[in-house]
Amino acid sequence: MKLMPWITSLFFIHIMNANKTANSKPNFVLIMVDDLGIGDVGCYGNKTLRTPNIDRLASEGVKLTQHIAASPLCTPSRAAFMTGRYPIRSGLASDSRFGVFIFSASSGGLSSDELTFAKILKNEGYSTALIGKWHLGLNCKESGDFCHHPLNHGFEYFYGITMTNLRDCIPGHGSVFVTGATKYIRALFLTGVVTLVTCILLYHAGLLHIRREMLCYFILTNMLIFSAMAFFLWNFKYFNCFLMRNHKIIQQPLSFENLTQRMTKEAVNYITRNKETPFLLFVSYIQVHTALYASHTFRGQSQHGLYGDALEEVDWSIGKILDELEENHLQDKTLVYFTSDNGAHVEEISSSGEVQGGSNGIYKGGKSTSWEGGIRVPGLLRWPRVINAGIVIDELTSHMDIFPTIIKLAGSSLLHSRIIDGYDLMPLIQGRSVTSEHEFLFHYCNAYLNAVRWNQRNSNSVWKVLFFTPNFNPEGSSGCYDTHVCFCFGDFVTYHNPPLLFDLSKDPKEERPLTPQTEPNFDQILQIVQQATEKHKKTLQAVHNQLTWNNVIWKPWLQACCSSWLDFCYCDNDKELGMD
């Protein structure tokens, strides 16, 4: 009995310390892996890939099992993550085939009107850094205006790429760009050849009455056009694939040698430099998006080919970052968050036939679709002494929740002038609330409202309604292999009337659509979802679409180049090749 006062005192001291830690301005380390499937991580069920450091975050913190990306594609997903808003609100939801930026010399990007968590935390006195992939634009009107650059959106330090690492960036890995554009290039070439030959024949037959100089001019113009196209495609990596430090290009084309290790060293050094001040570090890994790469130490070491090698190197990198936090005694002061931007890209197969996309586990579909495989992603949070270890939360959460969570923890209040679609996660992950604040989540396939998720209150059911679904090709497969990704409109999809209805709590694989015969409340559920959809649509405001054809095409005057065009924009000022 004499021990009870001591035990009580120790308990209150622990509570006071935890509250003190939570109330002081914490650091934030946000980790996002590109195109990582939920089925590729050990703590989510994978038994063959080695991810001990990612799994460590789960064992020492909270694992979210129903964590949802706001879009199944890179660019809109990242926009939603950065702003806490559906990407359609920021104009980053396409109504064409191009759902992401594919050229560094495009004019579209994240508008300066949008508020990112980096911009708000910078105003709160935080140091802010992005290391890795941005994919939200670069220039607007001229090369060097940097209107979409990370440093224009609240980050004080940037080391990484503004685009994504397409296969075109690494010699010998093939070309996604050429593959996707082949039929258009072929059609344009054939049209030009047929027109040219026809004109020559008509001219010599005396049926085309133009001056010889005009015919020569026409021939020369066609030759120049096709020469320019060939030049651009052949030198794609010089124009599109480069590494930046802040506003300066330091490597063009980008070298993938020890790139993950170089990023790791940048992240570790940043933590050391800023250990005395609150900081936000966003580590946005370039892997495991293709083209895949791995350093010599990790190549050939996994059971899943180059994809597994790349992921295991990313896991090693995360371990180094966690170790650095501990070495600087920052682990109790730092909220660490881990996720993927969208589901695994199931259509990724190399020219040699190696499957280079990840696994979405039991879930259907993958990247670019609103099936669960495209939008259900890993979600891990660790903050010792503030968040209990080993907690699993099955409630509905979203990428967009990170924005309000870290804004509130940093001591800032959300601006009431704009709609924020995410919710503060702390009540849920600290056990102060047992129910997600998300009653509905709206799943967009580019600009098209594809599906709605209803987290029904006072029920175990999680309803999902799909208005249309992609037409997988070849038929019977699990993806759109003929087009490399699934598209969201026209003949690429099948519309359903009535919509498809699933109860994800009983059918997470989305194998058995419910009917009025198998679900007594079928009509009532659809009616409630439709009402929620109409209410959501009324909150949308017209904004400038950043992903129109005009905003995504290559514009020579926007091309970033670290040297003269005669030198093919070549430079290499990033000699440091990594860390031990």
What is the distance, to the nearest Å, from the Cα of residue 66 to the centroid of all Cα atoms in its chain? 17
140 given a catalytic annotation: no
Contacts with 549 (C-beta within 8 Å, 6 or more apart), sequence order: 96, 98
* End-to-end CA gap in the chain: 54
- The DSSP call for residue 519 is -
Secondary structure element (H or E) that encloses residue 157, with its range: strand 157-161
Per the DSSP assignment, residues forming a β-bridge with 67 are 377, 397
135 given a catalytic annotation: yes
Q: Give CA–CA dist 246/157, Å, rounded.
A: 6
Residue type, 337: Y
Q: Give CA–CA dist 56/336, Å, rounded.
A: 11
Contacts with 503 (C-beta within 8 Å, 6 or more apart), sequence order: 461, 462, 463, 464, 514, 519
- The DSSP call for residue 527 is H
Among candidates 262, 383, 267, 403, which has minimal Cα distance to 330?
383
Q: Give CA–CA dist 295/259, Å, rounded.
A: 8
User: Would you tell me how many other CB atoms lie within 10 Å of the CB of residue 265?
Assistant: 20
Catalytic residue among 135, 153, 304, 443: 135
Whole-angstrom CA distances from 340 to 99, 351, 380, 394 are 18, 25, 10, 18
The distance between the two most distant Cα atoms of the chain, rounded to a whole number of Å, is 116
- The DSSP call for residue 465 is E
User: Would you tell me how many other CB atoms lie within 10 Å of the CB of residue 365?
Assistant: 25
Per the DSSP assignment, residues forming a β-bridge with 393 are 64
User: Would you tell me how many other CB atoms lie within 10 Å of the CB of residue 130?
Assistant: 25
Per the DSSP assignment, residues forming a β-bridge with 473 are 480
Catalytic residue among 14, 43, 67, 74: 74
Tokens 């090369």 correspond to 143
User: Would you tell me how many other CB atoms lie within 10 Å of the CB of residue 560?
Assistant: 20
Residue type, 426: M
Q: Give CA–CA dist 468/462, Å, rounded.
A: 19
Among candidates 283, 315, 290, 289, which has minimal Cα distance to 302?
315
Which residues are the active-site residues? 74, 135
